[in-house]
Amino acid sequence: MISVNDFKTGLTVEVEGNIWRVMDFQHVKPGKGAAFVRSKLKNLRNGAIQEKTFRAGEKVGRAQIDNMKMQYLYADGDSYVFMDNNTYEQIEIPADQLEHELKFLKENMPVSIMMYGSETLGVELPKTVELEVTETEPGIKGDTASGASKSATLETGITLQVPLFVNQGDILVVNTDEGSYVSRA
């Protein structure tokens, strides 16, 4: 058990039978009444974000999440197959658990799988990935005064805004949290 006074961003806790990650928290001490902790929690089973308020000093269960280093192998119908590089054990994760991550997954990509006991909670991608531009309009020199962008489709199917100098066939570094262009590789 852990006190809500000890909340930290990224901590995983068990509340009401679900596994939550603390996204944000704030200790509030009103002039009148007891202190409390206002928190923003993300449900690791379904991705829902919820605001919860706890009384100061309230105890919640701590959830032990294991991160296993694995490699994405291939898609098999509506599930995706990952392999542990040490034991060569393979696990399948259904597509509905990977909605956001599918935009960035490439075959043979190393990822981290979040496990709670024997339950698979999801996939943690690297902060940035390198993806090839499969389709974009050519940029025309002298087309802008400053900071213009155009849309580009990458090899995984995601479309994002890129600077005009990016051409088809270029390899781009993409931020996986925001789905945004970082630089050329």
In the prediction, which pLDDT does 76 show?
A: 86
Q: Mention every residue, 6+ apart, whose C-beta is less than 8 A from residue 6.
A: none
What structural domains does the chain harbor?
A: 2-62 (2.30.30.30), 65-124 (2.40.50.140), 128-184 (2.40.50.140)
pTM: 0.72
User: What tokens appear for 142 in the block?
Assistant: 């002298």
In the prediction, which pLDDT does 144 show?
A: 58
In the prediction, which pLDDT does 47 show?
A: 77
pLDDT digits (tens, 9 = 90+) for 81-100: 999 988 999 998 888 888 78
In the prediction, which pLDDT does 138 show?
A: 81
In the prediction, which pLDDT does 154 show?
A: 92
In the prediction, which pLDDT does 73 show?
A: 92
DSSP string over 56-124 = TT-EEEEP-PEEEEEEEEEEETTEEEEEETTT--EEEEEGGG-TTGGGT--TT-EEEEEEETTEEEEEE
- What's the rounded Cα separation, in Å, for the pair 66 and 44? 13
Low-confidence ranges of the chain (pLDDT < 50): none
